[in-house]
Amino acid sequence: MTRALKYYTEPLSLDELNFLVRKEAKERGLYYKVFSMLMVVSFIVPYVAAWYRVADGAPNAFSYTKFFVSAGILLVISSIATYVSYRFNLRNLQQDIKEKSKTVVLSHITRKMYVASNDTYHFYLDSFIKLSIEVSLPDYQLFKEGDEISLEYSTHAHEYLGYF
């Protein structure tokens, strides 16, 4: 038996918007740090490679042309990797903040589970966003398998915001 999932959008609450803004600022800072490190590595690797050429006795081991071509290639690769990562991750989060809306999807509980090792309660769902969520004890006792539950997530980044 298949059930059609229903969804709709609604505005973000102030707390949810603040959560997304803090997450975006943190991730933007991490992108800056990683790209800065990749830039430094792009210049260190050709320098270290030149010393290996010196150890092998290669003539003209410290060639400016080899150094800058190698550094340039590494910078281009680093820039492309950083941009692609930004395009598929951080940009979606920024778009959610700009639009200030979230998506609510109606899902069904397929299984309930108690995890004794860390004393938590989980619902397994038929959602395409989250396969399972951790819930409180009162909600675990209130809902049963087959019940409908609503999941809230940011529309573009699919950042899980909660359930009701």
In terms of Cα–Cα distance, which of 20, 19, 10, 14 is closest to 97?
A: 20
pLDDT score at 5: 58
Where do we find the tokens 């080899």?
66
pLDDT 10s digit of each residue in the chain, 164 long? 455 558 888 898 899 999 999 999 999 898 889 889 999 999 899 988 888 888 877 777 778 888 899 999 999 999 999 899 888 888 999 999 999 999 999 889 999 999 989 999 999 998 888 888 999 999 989 998 988 998 999 988 888 888 88
Q: What is the largest CA-CA distance in the chain?
A: 77
Mapped onto helix, strand or coil, the DSSP state of residue 16 is helix
Helix (H) or strand (E) segment spanning residue 34: helix 14-55
In terms of Cα–Cα distance, which of 76, 55, 56, 74 is closest to 66?
A: 74
**Domain limits of the chain?**
13-99, 101-163
Instruction: Output the pTM of the full model.
Output: 0.72
